[in-house]
């Protein structure tokens, strides 16, 4: 027997998906994103070679039947590395945004709901982080923590947390003044129940919109740190690190950095267009 709540959630999800698919641009972006996620999961199956399989006899080989996108400076298949790179560039970005969203939402909700010392302590710390340019702060944090992928993701999460904290803080301040919240307090309902039942559901849509819009930016940040040598280290097939090496061969072996850059462009563009579609769907007041 199906629970009524489950049926309602499934119906809402189906309606949301149908609404997204009515826009051809958003539908195309969603299709590309789903394809990328499938490629990331099935990379060992769909990739023709291993991500780190070296073949010095075929180093910097052009596009051919055996290497559709050519090879790199040590003979590794570029197509295979791009496919495995989806796991890192996209997978790590999704995990980073999810962590930043959860932590930022909790901090902003606590500051906005309880106020007083929580408001002062949390939001002043958030203001300090927001006072620095995000890219410069991410580079500084990644350099201080040490050059590896985990530290790069942590640095970017720290940079992104204030955005979600500010958003949750503003939404919580507005929601806690509503009559149903004030009535719940009057009748002695606990703070935990009020936050879980009334506050969080009201800020959820705004958080979802922000996460979809942030995914493309985080992918660029991960790639930027990788390009600067502060992210994933060789031979990890991370797109930014691949371009960091590949741009040296741009003139004679153009396929090496070009296809990697095209992968980043396509991925970021798809996530940005999908984010715009989700924003228009969940936040109609934000439309131009």
Which residues, 6 or more positions from 279, have their beta carbon under 8 angstroms from its beta carbon? 209, 212, 213, 286
Task: Write the DSSP symbol of residue 129.
Answer: H
Peptide bond into 215 cis (omega under 30): no
From its phi and psi, is residue 14 left (phi > 0), alpha (psi between -120 and 50) or beta? Answer: alpha
Chain center to CA of 56: 35
Q: What integer pLDDT is reported at residue 17 of this predicted model? A: 65
pLDDT tens track, the chain, 288 positions: 444 555 565 566 566 667 667 778 888 988 999 999 999 899 999 999 988 889 888 898 899 888 999 999 999 999 999 999 998 889 999 999 999 999 999 999 998 888 788 888 998 999 998 889 889 999 999 999 999 999 999 999 999 999 999 999 988 888 887 777 778 777 777 777 888 888 888 888 888 888 988 999 999 999 999 999 998 888 889 999 999 998 888 888 898 899 999 999 999 999 999 888 888 777 655 444
Q: What integer pLDDT is reported at residue 11 of this predicted model? A: 61
Q: Write down the pTM of the prediction.
A: 0.85
Which residues, 6 or more positions from 243, have their beta carbon under 8 angstroms from its beta carbon? 223, 226, 227, 257, 260, 261, 264
The closest alpha carbon to 263, from 35, 30, 11, 8, belongs to 35
Report the sign of the C-alpha dihedral through residues 114, 120, 121, 125, in that order: positive
Rounded CA separation 18/261 (Å): 32
Number of H helices, E strands in the chain: 12, 0
Q: What integer pLDDT is reported at residue 5 of this predicted model? A: 52
Which CATH number is correct for 22-55+67-286, 1.10.3720.10, 3.30.450.190, 3.30.530.20, 3.40.50.10490?
1.10.3720.10
**55, 61, 63, 68: CA torsion to nearest 10:** 10
Spatial contact of 271 and 33, defined as CB atoms under 8 Å apart: yes
Q: What integer pLDDT is reported at residue 161 of this predicted model? A: 94
Name the residue ranges covered by the structural domains of the chain: 22-55+67-286
Rounded CA separation 32/27 (Å): 9
Q: Tens of pLDDT along 15-25?
A: 666 766 777 88
């Amino acid at each position: 027997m199906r629970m009524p709540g489950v049926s309602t959630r499934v119906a809402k999800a189906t309606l949301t998906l149908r609404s997204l698919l009515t826009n051809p641009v958003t539908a195309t972006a969603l299709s590309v994103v789903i394809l990328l996620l499938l490629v990331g999961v099935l990379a060992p199956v769909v990739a023709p070679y291993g991500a780190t399989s070296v073949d010095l006899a075929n180093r910097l080989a052009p596009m051919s039947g055996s290497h559709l996108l050519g090879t790199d400076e040590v003979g590794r298949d570029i197509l295979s590395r791009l496919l495995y790179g989806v796991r890192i560039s996209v997978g790590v970005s999704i995990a980073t945004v999810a962590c930043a969203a959860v932590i930022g939402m909790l901090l902003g909700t606590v500051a906005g709901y309880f106020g007083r010392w929580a408001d002062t302590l949390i939001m002043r710390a958030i203001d300090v982080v927001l006072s620095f340019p995000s890219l410069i702060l991410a580079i500084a944090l990644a350099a201080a923590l040490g050059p590896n992928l985990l530290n790069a993701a942590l640095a970017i999460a720290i940079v992104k947390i204030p955005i979600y904290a500010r958003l949750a803080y503003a939404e919580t301040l507005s929601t806690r003044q509503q009559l149903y919240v004030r009535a719940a307090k009057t009748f002695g309902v606990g703070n935990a129940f009020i936050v879980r039942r009334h506050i969080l559901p009201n800020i959820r849509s705004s958080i979802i919109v922000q996460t979809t819009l942030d995914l493309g930016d985080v992918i660029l940040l991960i790639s930027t740190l990788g390009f600067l040598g502060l992210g994933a280290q060789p031979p990890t097939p991370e797109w930014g690190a691949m371009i960091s090496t590949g741009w040296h061969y741009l003139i004679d072996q153009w396929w090496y950095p070009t296809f990697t850059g095209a992968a980043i462009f396509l991925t970021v563009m798809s996530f940005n267009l999908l984010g715009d579609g989700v924003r228009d769907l969940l936040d109609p007041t934000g439309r131009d």
